[in-house]
């Protein structure tokens, strides 16, 4: 796990400054290599082959190719055996395996790589770049083209620094997506001049020409309805085998490995499988809170006792998480909405005190139907059979009920089309587009349009819940959840690995009929497998997630920080917002008349980002 920077047509000094910006991603070694036409830089967090010869940038044995790489290739030992003595190995690292794979298979090397990665290879002879990002988007890849110059890196600030210029502009489309969805979907970034390489994509750059292609996607995988009648025991055996293999590969390390343990289905299953693969107690980590509304540490402890892990827990007052506010604002160097980043940073800091690598349970919800949104999308399938006028009437009736869920259902009923319904369910803004100026609405498109474009690439016979899962895998997972964990863990120089995000497991799960995912309960098949390792009475509990009391914080300890940001009318207008509408929401929230905390927080984060960058 590392931080990477590259500059085609750049200079060493700018790359040095870029590496300083992302130093926390790799504090063990910093190296820069300059070749005709390119400068590569690398901050290393040493995990596999700790020797100095495994540092990067790394030159191939024939001295034609040089690579910088962030991530892990979990099957590198298997690939190394296949290549054998065709390559003169200089290290025991997975980095060199990528180089050797590229020399043997060219761009088709990506078909062999199993892991999380973003990397670039410079062909010294041909003077060209080949780069790629992993299939599910675990590792970030930002880039900027300036004519015949090309810059890339692990974070946007590093790319801007490498390019030697700050003359960048906010992208209005990105602002709209951010405030509607809570994230900025690839390939967009907050800047017009920077892009993100989308998950499962590769690029080539030579002599001013940039070519980007998709090499992997779940979009076209069809549900295998024949599996509806498959044996449950057989499917459980297959799932168990796939997860065990995925966990085993992610435990390969030359440094200590632990696990994040929340006590939920996903992290508990990962911890349980780990426990069967080592003679020593697995080191598990969780955080807890004095406030029982946010505390799930007792669930984690119950799982830890059953698995006999070496459990490490840190208790907080919930407001103590605000100590991470400076890290949040500095490390998430693109506007970031998801405030569950605070507990992610807290548990990452705790884990880093004992290990360099921690496995997590991320990915189980998207692959196996864990979120409550998916059940609602089952309702959307039924509502499509209603006349639209009847839906509108039902929405008006439901709106009179005071409960928040009733308000949500009312909005859901008033949206026509399954994809549009899911965009509403997943949005932060929940229909409050009046905060956008008329010009902003006219010149940009909403989240529903983005989802519709992606849906058009998918099989037509997907059910509503399956459609929701595919859209989450395409956007919410990489651009929100995985970025949260990547930045939050790397802020403390900790490598987070995700066994449930193995692309082979996702391909298998995508073919499963919905009945194996949602059957009375969510994550039916994954849950049944977890019960084989941990008693059901320990695991069965309501889903919590990593929550923080943002509504309360905005009225309390964060009020003095937010207030000037929301009342900066000039700044809001620059972002394409209507100041009076935003300020009315803020006043309503302070008076406890509405719960608009997610949207207020998003606007405040966006304003803070702009104010800290006076050139914007």
Which of 109-123, 176-190, 436-450, 528-542 comes out lowest in average pLDDT?
528-542
Digit-coded pLDDT (tens) for 465-495: 999 999 999 999 999 999 999 999 999 999 9
Residue 567, token pair as written in the block: 């009342």
Half-sphere exposure of 468 (CA within 13 A, CB side): 31
CB atoms inside a 10 Å sphere around CB 549? 18
pLDDT at 392: 65
Query: What are phi and psi for residue 319, nearest 5 degrees?
Result: -70, -15
Report the DSSP pairing between strands 195-196 and 2-8.
unpaired
* pLDDT, tens only, 17-70: 999 999 999 999 999 999 999 999 999 999 999 999 999 999 999 999 999 999
Res 299 pLDDT > 70: yes
Listed range (182-186, 394-398, 424-428) with the worst mean pLDDT: 394-398
Residue 594: the pLDDT is 81
Residue 288 in contact with residue 295, Cβ under 8 Å? yes
Q: Which residues 6+ apart lie within 8 Å of 485 measured at CB?
A: 344, 360, 362, 496, 498
Instruction: Kindly state the greatest CA–CA separation across the chain.
Output: 73
Q: Are 435 and 604 in contact (CB under 8 A)?
A: no
CB 458 within 8 A of CB 220: yes
Question: In which element (H, E) is residue 484 found?
Answer: helix 482-490
Instruction: Determine contact, residues 163/7, Cβ cutoff 8 Å.
Output: yes
Whole-number average pLDDT of the chain: 93
Confidence check: pLDDT of 550 > 80: yes
3-state secondary structure of 27: strand
Q: Is the pLDDT of residue 387 over 80?
A: no
Among the ranges given (259-268, 521-530, 534-543), the one the predictor scored with the smallest mean pLDDT: 534-543
Rounded to 5 degrees, what are φ and ψ at 8?
-85, 115
Instruction: Please report the pLDDT score of residue 505 as a whole number.
Output: 98
pLDDT, average across residues 73-101: 97
Q: Supply the residues annotated as catalytic.
A: 2
CA distances, 367 to each of 28, 140, 219, 364 (Å): 35, 21, 13, 5
Whether the predicted pLDDT of 541 surpasses 70: yes
* Burial class of residue 84 in the structure, from the number of CB atoms within 10 Å of its CB (0-12 exposed, 13-18 middle, 19+ buried): exposed
Nearest-CA neighbor of 175 among 428, 421, 423? 428
- CA distances 184 to 51, 172, 196, 334, 480, Å, are 38, 11, 10, 9, 8
Q: Pull the structure tokens for residue 361.
A: 């349970």
State pTM to two decimals.
Answer: 0.94
- Per-state percent for the chain, helix, strand, coil, to nearest 5: 50, 15, 35
Contact in structure between 498 and 358 (CB atoms under 8 Å): no
Q: Please report the pLDDT score of residue 409 as a whole number.
A: 61
Taking 80 as the threshold, does the pLDDT of residue 403 lie above it? no
Burial class (CB in 10 A: 0-12, 13-18, 19+), 133: buried
Q: What is the pLDDT of residue 615?
A: 74
* pLDDT tier at 302, thresholds 50, 70, 90: very high
CA separation for the pair 71, 401 (Å, rounded):
49
Determine the Cα–Cα distance for residues 299 and 291; give it in Å rounded to an integer: 15
- In angstroms, how far is CA 459 from the centroid of its own chain? 24
Q: Is the pLDDT of residue 388 over 70?
A: no
Cβ pair 50, 255 in contact under 8 A? yes
Which whole number is the average pLDDT over 165-185? 94
166 pLDDT exceeds 80?
no
CATH architecture for residues 2-214: 4-Layer Sandwich (3.60)
Rounded to 5°, the CA angle 323-326-331 comes to 125
Q: Which residue has the higher pLDDT, 565 or 319?
A: 565
Q: Over the stretch 343-372, which tens digit does the pLDDT of each residue have?
A: 999 999 999 999 999 999 999 999 999 999
User: What confidence score (pLDDT) does residue 540 get?
Assistant: 87
Question: Which pLDDT band holds residue 397 (cuts at 50, 70, 90)?
Answer: low
3-state secondary structure of 84: helix
Per-residue pLDDT, averaged over 186-201, amounts to 98
Residue 408 pLDDT grade (very low, low, confident, very high; cuts 50, 70, 90): low
The residue among 545, 483, 526 whose CA lies nearest residue 263 is 545
pLDDT band, residue 296 (cuts 50/70/90): confident
Q: Examine the pLDDT at 406 and tell me if it is beyond 70.
A: no
Instruction: Give the whole-angstrom CA distance, residue 579 versus residue 395.
Output: 29
User: What pLDDT, on the 0 to 100 scale, is given for residue 58?
Assistant: 97
CATH architecture of 225-368+493-539: 3-Layer(aba) Sandwich (3.40)
Taking each helix axis as running N to C, give the angle between helix 372-383 and helix 418-426, from 0 to 180 degrees, rounded to the nearest 10.
150
Q: Where in the chain is the domain with CATH 3.60.20.10?
A: 2-214
Task: Tell me the C-alpha distance between 448 and 472, whole Å.
Answer: 13
Q: Residue 380: its pLDDT value, please? A: 75
Picking from 116, 227, 103, the residue whose alpha carbon sits closest to that of residue 485 is 116
Lowest mean pLDDT among 136-150, 180-194, 372-386, 574-588: 372-386
Residue 297 gets which letter from DSSP? H
At 597, list the tokens.
């905390």
Which helix (H) or strand (E) covers residue 300, if one does?
helix 297-307
Looking at the chain, the domain(s) classified CATH 3.40.50.620 span: 225-368+493-539
CB 506 within 8 Å of CB 363: yes
How many Cα neighbours within 13 Å face the side chain of 501? 28
């Amino acid at each position: 796990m590392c931080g990477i920077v590259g500059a085609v047509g750049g200079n060493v000094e700018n790359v040095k400054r870029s590496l300083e910006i992302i130093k926390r991603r790799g504090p063990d070694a910093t190296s820069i290599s300059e070749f005709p036409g390119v400068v590569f830089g690398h901050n290393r967090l040493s995990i596999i082959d700790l020797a100095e010869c495994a540092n990067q940038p790394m030159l191939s044995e024939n001295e034609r190719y040089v690579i910088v790489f962030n991530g892990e290739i979990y099957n590198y030992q298997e690939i190394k055996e296949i290549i054998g003595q065709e390559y003169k190995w200089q290290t025991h690292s997975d980095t060199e395996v990528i180089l050797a794979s590229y020399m043997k298979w060219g761009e088709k090397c990506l078909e062999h790589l199993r892991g999380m990665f973003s990397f670039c290879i410079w062909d010294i002879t041909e003077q060209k770049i080949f780069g790629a990002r992993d299939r599910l988007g675990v590792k970030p890849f930002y880039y900027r083209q300036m004519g015949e110059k090309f810059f890339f890196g692990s974070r946007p600030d590093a790319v801007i620094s490498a390019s030697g210029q700050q003359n960048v502009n906010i992208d209005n489309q990105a602002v709209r997506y951010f405030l509607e969805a809570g994230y900025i979907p690839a390939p967009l970034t907050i800047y017009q001049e920077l892009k993100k390489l989308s998950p499962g994509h590769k690029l080539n750059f030579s002599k001013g020409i940039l070519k980007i292609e998709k090499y992997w996607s779940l979009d076209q995988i069809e549900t295998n309805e024949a599996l509806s009648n498959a044996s449950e025991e057989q499917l459980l055996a297959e799932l168990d085998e796939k997860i065990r293999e995925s966990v085993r590969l992610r435990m390969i390390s030359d440094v200590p490995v632990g696990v994040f343990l929340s006590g939920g289905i996903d992290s508990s299953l990962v911890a349980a499988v780990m426990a069967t693969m080592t003679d020593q107690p697995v080191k598990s980590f969780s955080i807890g809170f004095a406030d029982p509304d946010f505390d799930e540490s007792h669930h984690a402890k119950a799982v830890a006792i059953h698995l006999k892990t070496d459990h490490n827990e840190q208790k907080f007052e919930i407001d103590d998480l605000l100590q991470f506010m400076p890290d949040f604002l500095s490390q998430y160097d693109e506007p970031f909405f998801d405030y569950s980043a605070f507990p992610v940073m807290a548990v990452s800091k705790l884990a880093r005190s004992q290990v360099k690598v921690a496995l997590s349970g991320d990915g189980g919800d998207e692959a196996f139907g864990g979120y409550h949104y998916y059940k609602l999308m089952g309702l959307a399938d039924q509502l499509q059979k209603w006349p639209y006028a009847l839906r509108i009437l039902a929405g008006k009736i439901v709106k009179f009920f005071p409960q928040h869920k009733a308000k949500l259902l009312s909005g859901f009923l008033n949206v026509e089309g399954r994809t549009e319904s899911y965009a509403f369910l997943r949005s932060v803004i929940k229909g409050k587009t009046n905060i956008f100026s008329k010009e902003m609405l006219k010149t940009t498109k909403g989240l529903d349009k983005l989802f519709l474009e992606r849906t058009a690439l998918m099989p037509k016979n997907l059910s509503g819940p399956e459609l929701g899962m595919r859209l989450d895998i395409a956007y919410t997972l990489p651009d929100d959840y995985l970025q949260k964990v990547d930045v939050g863990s790397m802020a403390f120089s900790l490598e987070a690995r995700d066994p449930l995000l193995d692309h082979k497991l996702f391909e298998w799960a995508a073919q499963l009929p919905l009945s194996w995912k949602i059957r009375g309960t969510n994550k039916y098949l994954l849950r049944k497998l977890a019960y084989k390792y941990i008693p059901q009475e320990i695991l069965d509990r309501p889903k919590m997630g990593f929550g923080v009391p943002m509504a309360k914080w905005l009225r309390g300890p964060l009020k003095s920080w937010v207030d000037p940001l929301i009342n900066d009318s000039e700044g809001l207008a620059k972002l394409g917002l209507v100041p009076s509408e935003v300020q009315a929401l803020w006043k309503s929230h302070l008076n406890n008349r509405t719960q608009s905390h997610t949207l207020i927080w998003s606007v405040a984060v966006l304003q803070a980002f702009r104010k800290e960058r006076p050139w914007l």
